[in-house]
Amino acid sequence: MFLVAGATGNVGRHVVRELLALGVSVRALVRDPATAELPDGVQVFRGDLSRPETLPAALAGVRGVFLFAVPGSGPDFVRAAEQAGVGRVVLLSSDAVLDGAAEQPNPIAGYHAEIERALRDSPLAWTFLRSAHMATNALPWAGQTKAGDVVRGPYAGATSAPVHEADLGAVAAVALTEEGHTGQVYTLSGPASLTAAEQVALIGAAIDRPLRYDELAPEVAREQMSAFIPPFIIGTLFEGWAKSVGVPAAVHPDVEKLTGRPARGFAEWAADHAADFS
């Protein structure tokens, strides 16, 4: 039995599908089973990583866990997993984490590093999947593409190598079910560095409409985005975008290394999500 935390999220749903395709038993940890809409055959447990009292029942009889990083949840999860006799944990972490750093470069790296440390200090067999920029981070543009042909935002030249959530799910399933991944840290990215403007153009191609990216002044964009993004996240985002302009994003081979096939490109991701942008 494998437990998938965050099973209704963008990545978690793919982990569930990949594990089911392998023919193993899957249990999903979700906040609201009534709205989970998971495939038949999945055991659905109500629970929350931020509520440790919900974990023992969900972890009973589980041999491996896909863990989604929730700030502050590491120690309680580790304690519950040890008591339940869990053998393996695969953590979806962030490529912003710096090994050996006395202080992490930003709050996002900080809370991922804290959970990594809790797992490293435990007897659990762990694997870390440090994700680069997720392609799903483009989904907030959908409101603008549905209203017109212009996406407005900061730093048109900001670069990333967006990784498809299906690739994250596939790698997680491999790391959970195959031997040889204990103690490994994998960095997962898409196959190419793209600017924000290039990503918007590829979304336009997927929905058969010419889209363009209009760059907003950083201070204007920050004010607009602060209405729905917490301050500690928005500061990290803007700093990263500004530093990336003119610098190609790193591309890593680990998706292909673990799955045996090349990572999906952003054009494929855009085609998969065309309905979200139309």
Give the model confidence (pLDDT) of 227-278 as tens digits: 888 888 899 999 999 999 999 999 999 999 999 999 999 999 999 999 999 9
Q: Where are the beta strands (DSSP E) in 31-138?
A: 43-46, 64-68, 88-94, 125-131
Q: What angle do CA 167, 159, 254 make, to 5 degrees?
A: 30
122-168 confidence digits (pLDDT tens)? 999 999 999 999 999 999 999 999 999 999 999 999 999 999 999 99
Q: So where are the chain's domains?
A: 2-131, 135-163+190-249+262-278
pLDDT at 261: 97
User: Is residue 32 within 8 Å of 53, Cβ to Cβ?
Assistant: no
Count of other CB atoms within 10 angstroms of residue 233? 14
- Whether the full predicted model's pTM is greater than 0.85, yes or no, is yes
pLDDT digits (tens, 9 = 90+) for 21-79: 999 999 999 999 999 999 999 999 999 999 999 999 999 999 999 999 999 999 999 99
- Examine domains 2-131 and 135-163+190-249+262-278 and report if their fold is the same: yes
Q: How far apart are CA 27 and CA 79, in angstroms?
A: 19
**Which of 126, 253, 233 minimizes the C-alpha distance to 190?**
253
Residue 231: the pLDDT is 85
- The predicted pLDDT at position 183 comes to 98
| Token pair in block for residue 74 | 């590491």
Fold of 135-163+190-249+262-278: Rossmann fold (3.40.50)
CA 35 – CA 22 distance, rounded (Å) = 25
List, for residues 190-199, the tens digit of each pLDDT value: 999 999 999 9
CA distance 4 to 227: 31
Domain 2-131: state its class.
alpha beta
Instruction: Return the amino acid letter for 89.
Output: V
